[in-house]
């Protein structure tokens, strides 16, 4: 995901009724600049290099406020740790069992119908795909080749 520019981020905060502070700006800028779906602790560690006085509570309060205003999405996956995503376009996620990395998957790549839910009014849904990412598959294949050669 491309990094949002400062003017855009400040405008989004003001539109959402949030006061623009250097810490809030740094949190949203960090989340928007990464595709890693960081946790609040990871965000805290990253922005603390730039703002050593940013408290953990400030980061937690900021991600909660940004999620409540819809500027970011909070992801709660199997590990019980909330991760944050600034990609607001309709998409799904792939979680690698080996490296635990989370990848965005375009909605157009996920095929299928919600036939079982025809009695309900579906407003949104999220698909979480699980397996082994390409990088981990390649590592495993190299490892197996080395074992086969020995």
143: domain CATH number is 3.30.1490
pLDDT digits (tens, 9 = 90+) for 47-56: 988 878 789 9
Same domain, 13 and 70: yes
Is 29 a member of any domain?
Answer: yes
Is 142 a member of any domain?
Answer: yes
Domain end (from 81, 114, 130) = 81
Assign 119 to helix, strand or coil. Answer: coil
Write the DSSP assignment of 4-55 as a string of letters. PPHHHHHHHHHHTT----HHHHHHHHHHHH-SS--BHHHHHHHHHTT-TT--
Contact between residue 104 and residue 83 where contact means Cβ atoms under 8 Å apart: no
| Residues 75-91, mean pLDDT to the nearest whole number | 88
pTM, 2 dp:
0.80
Is 1 a member of any domain?
Answer: no
pLDDT for 2: 45
Contact between residue 2 and residue 31 where contact means Cβ atoms under 8 Å apart: no
Is 119 a member of any domain?
Answer: yes
**How many beta carbons lie within 10 A of that of residue 109, not counting itself?**
12
Same domain, 30 and 64: yes
pLDDT digits (tens, 9 = 90+) for 91-142: 999 999 999 899 999 888 876 655 556 677 777 778 899 999 999 999 999 9
Same domain, 64 and 102: no
Is 11 a member of any domain?
Answer: yes
Is 86 a member of any domain?
Answer: no
């Amino acid at each position: 995901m491309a990094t949002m520019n400062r003017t855009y981020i400040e405008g989004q905060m003001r539109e959402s009724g949030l006061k623009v502070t250097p810490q809030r700006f740094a949190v949203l800028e960090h989340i928007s600049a990464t595709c890693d779906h960081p946790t609040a602790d990871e965000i805290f560690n990253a922005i603390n290099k730039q703002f050593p006085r940013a408290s953990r509570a400030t980061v937690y309060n900021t991600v909660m406020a940004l999620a409540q205003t819809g500027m970011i999405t909070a992801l709660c996956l199997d590990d019980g740790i909330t991760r944050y995503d600034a990609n607001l376009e309709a998409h799904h996620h792939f979680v690698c069992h080996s490296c635990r990395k989370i990848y965005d998957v375009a909605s157009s790549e996920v095929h299928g119908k919600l036939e079982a839910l025809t009695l309900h009014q579906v407003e949104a849904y999220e698909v979480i795909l699980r397996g082994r990412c390409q990088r981990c598959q390649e590592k495993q294949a190299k490892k197996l080749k080395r074992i086969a050669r020995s």
